[in-house]
Amino acid sequence: MKKSDFSLIAVAALGYFVDIFDLALFGIVRVQSLRDLGLAGPELLSEGVHLLNAQMTGLLLGGLFWGVLGDKLGRLKVLFGSIFLYSIANLANAFVQSPIQYACLRFVAGLGLAGELGAAITLVAETLPTQKRGYGTAIVAGFGLSGAVAAGSLAELISWRSTYLVGGCLGLLLLFLRFRVSESQLFAQTKFASNVKRGDLFQLFFPKTRLLRYLGCVLIAVPIWYCAGILMTFSPEIGEALNATGPLSAGKAILFSYVGVALGDVSSGILSQLLRSRKKVILGALVLEALFASIILLSRQISPSHFYGLSFLIGLATGYWAVFVTVTSEHFGTNLRSTATTSAPNLVRASVVPMTLSLTHLKPYLGFLPSVALIGAVVFALAFFALFLLEETFSKDLNYLEL
């Protein structure tokens, strides 16, 4: 690879590191931060769900906004505009004094966080040679996801407000590296094609075959956020329902799971290159995810160490995030690639909203654990079906347009 390719991968990986640092941070400091704001008991869960949904709603709307902007104005503008926005939001989170302020700033942070990954993966996929792009996206995601490990480790040492300050400063420092990165040549070529629509959101929905392709890309990754957004984030409540032998820490569960995710993303990316198949890797990951999730939900009087071990394993299984985003970028033409690649991961992240709302509504009727299990069964069934319908894209040439 050329020196410029290494610079691109480095900037993309560092950007995603800060992205995940912030995204994981709320789950890690949720209980501590809400207690400091005066909440206690059941309010920790209900307000935690409210704040998580505010963040995920921001991610959903931001994914659409940044995705369209990336196809209209360029991948680089989105990459650094998103980094700037979520860095400022991170800094402001350190000074919140009420749950309302907290919710507003988690929404703004979600808007900013929505753009970085899609722009980074699109840039890497369009810049690297066809047979190398899997390695590039694996490095970006693998290193980036270690941001959650850093967030979890740092949260054990300093206050939750200080961790938000660190995340914001890291993001602003990253902006100084932008001068080492060039715009995608494939995108540059589309700027001169006057008869081609760029960043037209409605193109994702028509014709029907393109919509099904888009939904299929989204559904194969929803189990990742079922595991992260439900099983890990609400691990204290799950521990109580399982009669765990000791209290479970969401921060530690997220930390152990993201160590697994970081390793899983690198290994799944490499494995997809060796097997010359994205679908085989995703299928294997889905099977393992379902297995480990079932083990957690069927356990009784589980020890914290056992739960954290399973958290690592389930993180390892969910580590196909880079492969999923790469698959999405490979399924769409250059004039719609940023829109699809940026919005799809955020639609997956935002899927936590209907999952948590379903959990809230089902819990009074079925109980907490049966509700979590039912949601998981639906999520995994849809993912397996969607994967069956998607095409294999390993060696696909990305120099094409959506007409």
Q: Which residue has the tokens 């020890």?
A: 303
What average pLDDT score do residues 222-236 get? 91
Helices 368-389/352-366 angle, 10° precision:
140
Burial of 395 (0-12, 13-18, 19+ CB in 10 A): exposed
Rounded Cα distance between 396 and 219, Å, is 21
Rounded Cα distance between 222 and 286, Å, is 10
Shortest CA distance to 88 belongs to which of 103, 102, 108, 104? 108
**Higher per-residue confidence, 195 vs 152:** 152
DSSP-derived secondary structure letter, 227: I
pTM over 0.85: no
Length of the chain: 403
pLDDT bracket for residue 193 (50, 70, 90): low
Extract the tokens encoding 366. 């079925």
pLDDT bracket for residue 366 (50, 70, 90): very high
Burial of 300 (0-12, 13-18, 19+ CB in 10 A): exposed
Under a CB-based contact definition with an 8 Å cutoff, are residues 15 and 116 in contact? yes
What average pLDDT score do residues 225-254 get? 89
| Angle, vertex CA 249, rays to CA 246 and CA 253, nearest 5 | 115
Domain range list for the chain: 3-178+197-389
380, 383, 389, 393 alpha-carbon torsion, rounded to 10°: -140
pLDDT bracket for residue 108 (50, 70, 90): very high
Shortest CA distance to 352 belongs to which of 116, 57, 141? 57
Inform me whether the pLDDT recorded for 314 exceeds 90: yes
Rounded Cα distance between 44 and 35, Å, is 8
What average pLDDT score do residues 24-28 get? 81
According to the per-residue pLDDT averaged within each range, which of 34-48, 78-92, 189-203 is highest? 78-92
Name the least confident of 41-45, 171-175, 367-371.
41-45
Shortest CA distance to 328 belongs to which of 282, 271, 376, 380? 282
Under a CB-based contact definition with an 8 Å cutoff, are residues 326 and 133 in contact? yes
Extract the tokens encoding 115. 């753009």
What average pLDDT score do residues 180-201 get? 76
The fold adopted by the segment(s) 3-178+197-389 is Growth Hormone; Chain: A; (1.20.1250)
DSSP-derived secondary structure letter, 204: G
Under a CB-based contact definition with an 8 Å cutoff, are residues 13 and 75 in contact? no
Question: Which amino acid would we find at residue 35?
Answer: R
Nearby residues of 110 by Cβ (< 8 Å), 6 or more positions away: 54, 55, 56, 57, 58, 59, 60, 61, 62
pLDDT of residue 397: 85
Under a CB-based contact definition with an 8 Å cutoff, are residues 258 and 314 in contact? no
Beta strands in 210-285 (DSSP E): none
pLDDT of residue 94: 92
